[in-house]
Amino acid sequence: MRLKTNLSLEQVRIPAPTSFVTQALYLAKEAGIVTKTEIQKLIISSPSFSRDKSPFLINNFYKQSQNTQQAQEESENDMTENKKTDCNIHIEPEAEISRIDKVIASKMDPDSLKVFWHNNCWWKVHSEAYGTCKRATSHVILKRGSGTVKVNGEEDIYKRWPIFYNRMDAVEPFYTAGCAGIYDLFIRTKGSGPSGQSRATRLAVARALVNANPSLHCYLKGSRPSFQLCLDALYEDLRQKMPKMPGRTGARSQRQWVKR
């Protein structure tokens, strides 16, 4: 016996049509998967020296500088305590030769006497250097500051180099030397492309840091055993584009050989 039931449209629930693409995008967002364009927007919109610990930015860039600042404060406190306890120790007068050297330095190079104490060593307040890579040249100036970076005037670094690894090339020597956030960086670069300019800036920044503190040469050179994994920041890429040779269509390409 067949039972006939009359059901209204309100009682019958018809599932709404859902798109597979919409579901896939929703699940991807929930899983934390992002597209390439979203990553590029995140990188471009982020500042150059950001405290954000996102993996797409410079990870913990200020962490090392904060640790060194704490160590510097602790060392200063220890120095004050030692002065209080050892106040009876006789301090020898300054040698006459060092006085003469200071007078000569003050007349020949006055900026060499402007130094500050950081990370248990003396650093110059002002330093500059040049760097080259292929056809690109870069001139950088380091000044005591808070980590501001300007390229060719007032242009920001993330606008000059939208790609992340190019910005990382420019500021990597600061991270290797442990002086992130204590210098303002002013860059003047030209020639070649973005990668060549970033590599030239990297070499110039490394040379300027060595000029400010000569003890950094072994760290930036990667000569110590603990720094073997670090790239040589003082390496100068001397490769040049070959010119067009006479009798050829280019630097190496030749005309097609025809037998008859």
- Calpha distance 109→170 (Å, rounded): 28
- Calpha distance 34→83 (Å, rounded): 57
Tens of pLDDT, residue by residue over 46-94, are: 555 544 444 444 444 545 555 555 666 666 666 655 554 444 434 344 4
Please list, in sequence order, all residues whose beta carbon lies within 8 angstroms of the beta carbon of residue 18, skipping any fewer than 6 positions away.
none
Reply yes or no on whether the pLDDT at 135 is more than 80. yes
Amino acid 40 reads Q
Q: Where are the domains of the chain?
A: 23-77+110-240
Reply yes or no on whether the pLDDT at 233 is more than 50. yes
Query: Model confidence at 205, in pLDDT bands (50, 70, 90)?
Result: very high
- Calpha distance 101→113 (Å, rounded): 11
Tens of pLDDT, residue by residue over 29-49, are: 677 676 766 666 655 555 555
Three-class DSSP labels, the chain: CCCCCCCCCCCCCCCCCCCHHHHHHHHHHHHCCCCHHHHHHHHHHCCCCCCCCCCCCCCCCCHHHHHHHHHHHHHHHHHHHHHHHCCCCCCCCCCHHHHHHHHHHHHHCHHHHCEEEECCEEEECEEEEEEEECCEEEEEEEEECCCCEEECCCEEHHHHCCCHHHHHHHHHHHHHHCCCCCEEEEEEEECCCHHHHHHHHHHHHHHHHHHHCHHHHHHHHCCCHHHCCCCCCCCCECCCCCCCCCCCCCCCCCCCCCCC
Amino acid 125 reads V
We find that the CATH architecture of domain 23-77+110-240 is 2-Layer Sandwich (3.30)
Which residue from 93, 138, 107, 112 is spatially nearest to 213, judged by alpha carbons?
Answer: 112
99, 213, 215 from 210: Cα distances, Å = 25, 5, 7
Query: What average pLDDT does the segment 180-192 reach?
Result: 91
How high is the pLDDT of residue 240?
A: 83
Is the separation of the CB atoms in 94 and 204 below 8 Å? no
